With several copies, the nearest count.
Chain A
Amino acid sequence: MSDGGLFDVPDAAEQERMVEAVLFASAKPLSVGELQARLPHGCDAAAALSRLAELYAGRGVEVRKLGDAWAIRTAPDLSHLMMREVVETRKLSRAATETLAIVAYHQPVTRAEIEEIRGVSVSKGIVEQLMELDWIRLGRRRDTPGRPVTFVVTRTFMDHFGLASPRDLPGLAELRAAGLLEGTPPPEAETRPATLFAAADEE
């Protein structure tokens, strides 16, 4: 350990210990930047992280990448031992899970687009519920007339569903290959009922 000199950078093993300690201490995932900020100057959090992830592979707890952040989580195959730790959560309604899936697979997505896909207007309660769970949040406004807000999924969402990246969403590649994630505009909007659905957005 080198802790004497003011500008001594801890060696690789020590950096690994530091990342390990900080990651263990936090219940929430930490981004590389956040980790970096907690380490002494000159440390390479990203390198220490990847070494640490390797070290923990196959263990009872794992170093997992969750979106742009990292966290230590118990191995999923040991969930049966954790009955006592299970947090009872209210079951999400079908409408809410569908809306969540649409945000996750189509993000950034506007409310009108969600309604187009689901064929019904999105109730305010659902968006509120998903935002309260910190699973979706507002993204950038769309550069189209009216500059509608968009929704994207959050780091908490990635953490909750154990997703290392949005690309890891189940079946994403197949859906994309089938063209089901493209914003295919309707052939003509005037006569189609879809316009009526979209109108529900305004209510």
Chain B
Amino acid sequence: MADDLSEGPVRDAVADRLAAEALIVDVAGFEGPLDLLLRLAQTQKVDLRKISVTDLARQYLAFVKRAREMRIELAADYLVMAAWLAFLKSRLLLPPDPEEEGPSAEEQAAHLAFQLERLEAMRRAAAALMARDQLGRDVFARGAPEGVARTRRVTYTATLLDLMQAYARTRTRDEFRPFVMDRDDVWTMEEALDRLRPLIGNATIWTDLAAFLPEGWDGDAARRRSATASTFAAALELARDGRLHLEQADMFGPIRIRGRT
């Protein structure tokens, strides 16, 4: 590095650059003006309550001046703090103006000292907290916790109203059921078949179909019609099966049946 030694300006440039970089790193390392102030205050190595705010203001302003000389962009809040500290410093150095209202310069300085002390206290508290025995690092929970099994129990509920409405529903359902034919006066074909089957075996002679109508079904016209129709249909069914013979002498004449032997 002999070249560097011989050429002073170059070396200075390097030194400046290094200094600038150091400052950049420093500024980046601070979390805002209060953090920077706290770091500067700590260099005074006194109880933060006895700190000299004027000294602190001077240090801070010097820092900002240096940063500006090195054309380091300082965030606005650093500059606002600088302006406020410059103002505070001047007020602290001058005798108090009796006309002025609001807090005195001393009170503002004391509050700044309080803020710094509080921030430092919180930093120490955070460190103390982190130094505690921590779960998963120093202290451990049950490695194999036994889970709680959930069982589901379903209970059913109904109100008296539900009950009454349900009953009303069942009792009135008939009244609203879909229309179906009333079967009181209907002699079904199944019934006719059941009646005809055992009788036809004995009918060895031609017998009028009307004779096979069930008892009580030959009076009322509707009933007789239903029974006649179903008995006739049943006779046709049995004729198809070869169980009986059917005959009708003339049109609209009586239909006669005879069992097949």
A→B interface (CB under 8 Å): 21, 24-29, 71-76, 79, 82-92, 94-98, 100-102, 104-105, 117-120, 129, 133, 159-163, 169-172, 175-176, 178, 180-181, 183-194, 196-197
B residues near A102, Cβ cutoff 8 Å: 122, 167, 170
From A161, A162, A178, A193, give the contact of B171 (CB < 8 A): A193
Cβ–Cβ contact B77 & A90, under 8 A: no
Q: Which residues of B contact A (CB under 8 A)?
A: 31-35, 77, 80-81, 84, 87, 102-103, 107-108, 110-111, 114-115, 117-119, 121-176
Q: 24 pairs across A/B with beta carbons < 8 Å?
A: A24-B143, A27-B145, A76-B139, A79-B139, A82-B146, A85-B152, A87-B137, A94-B31, A97-B130, A100-B129, A102-B122, A104-B129, A104-B163, A119-B33, A129-B156, A160-B136, A162-B133, A170-B128, A180-B168, A184-B114, A187-B102, A191-B87, A192-B111, A197-B34
Inter-subunit contact B77/A196 (CB<8 Å): yes
Contact of B143 among A27, A94, A191 (CB under 8 A): A27
Residues in chain B near residue A25, CB distance under 8 A: 140-143, 145-148
> Which residues from A are CB-within-8-Å of B115?
117, 119, 194
Tell me whether A119 and B32 are in contact (CB under 8 A).
Answer: yes
Min CB gap A174→B, angstroms: 9
The contact of A160 among B34, B80, B84, B135, by CB within 8 Å, is B135
Cβ–Cβ < 8 Å partners of A175 in chain B: 121, 125, 164-165, 167-168
State how many angstroms separate the Cβ of B201 from the closest Cβ of chain A.
33
Select from chain A the residue with minimum beta-carbon distance to B172.
A185
Give the interface SS of chain B, mostly helix, strand, loop or mixed: helix
Top 9 A-B residue pairs of the complex, sorted by shortest distance between their CB atoms: A119-B34, A187-B103, A101-B126, A101-B167, A120-B32, A170-B128, A27-B145, A25-B140, A25-B146
**Which one of B123, B126, B157 has the greatest number of beta carbons of chain A within 10 Å?**
B126
Chain A positions within 8 Å of B117 at CB level = 178, 180
**A194 neighbours in B (Cβ, 8 Å):** 115
- Contact partners of A161 in chain B: CB under 8 A: 129, 132-135, 159-160, 163
B149 near A101 with CB under 8 A, answer no
Please measure, in the bound complex, the distance between the C-alpha atom of A18 and the C-alpha atom of B155, giving whole angstroms: 28
Q: A117-B170, A197-B77 are in contact. Are A163 and B160 (CB under 8 A)?
A: yes
Q: What's the least CB distance linking A69 to chain B, in Å? A: 11
Chain B residue nearest to A120 (CB atoms) is B32
CA of A26 to CA of B84 in the docked complex: distance in angstroms?
A: 56
Contact, CB under 8 Å: A90 / B166: no
Contacting pair A120 B167 (CB below 8 A): no
Known A98-B170, A118-B119; further 5 A-B contacts with Cβ < 8 A: A101-B123, A119-B34, A161-B132, A175-B165, A197-B34
Partner of B122, one of A85, A91, A101: A101
**Shortest beta-carbon distance from B161 to chain A in Å:** 7
Q: With A88-B152, A90-B155, A187-B107 as known contacts, state yes or no: A26 contacts B132, CB within 8 Å.
A: no
Known contacts A27-B145, A73-B140, A188-B103; is A98 also within 8 Å of B34 by CB? Answer: no
Question: CA separation between A82 and B149, bound complex, in Å?
Answer: 6
A97 engages B172 (CB within 8 Å): no
Q: State in angstroms the CA–CA spacing of A101 and B155 once bound together.
A: 18
Do the beta carbons of B80 and A97 come within 8 Å of each other? no
Say which residue of B123, B128, B131, B144 sits within 8 Å of A98 (CB atoms): B123
- Are B151 and A191 in contact, CB atoms less than 8 angstroms apart? no
Q: What chain A residues lie within 8 Å of B172 (beta carbons)?
A: 172, 181, 183, 185, 189
Hey, which chain A residues are within 8 Å of B130, CB to CB? 92, 97
A159 to B135, CA, bound (A): 7
Whole-angstrom distance between the Cβ of A202 and the nearest chain B Cβ: 14
Q: Assess the B107–A162 pair: CB atoms within 8 A.
A: no
A186 near B175: Cβ-Cβ < 8 Å? yes
With known contacts A76-B133, A86-B153, A92–B143 Cβ distance under 8 A: no
Instruction: State how many angstroms separate the Cβ of B124 from the closest Cβ of chain A.
Output: 7
Bound form: Cα–Cα A95–B31 in Å? 8
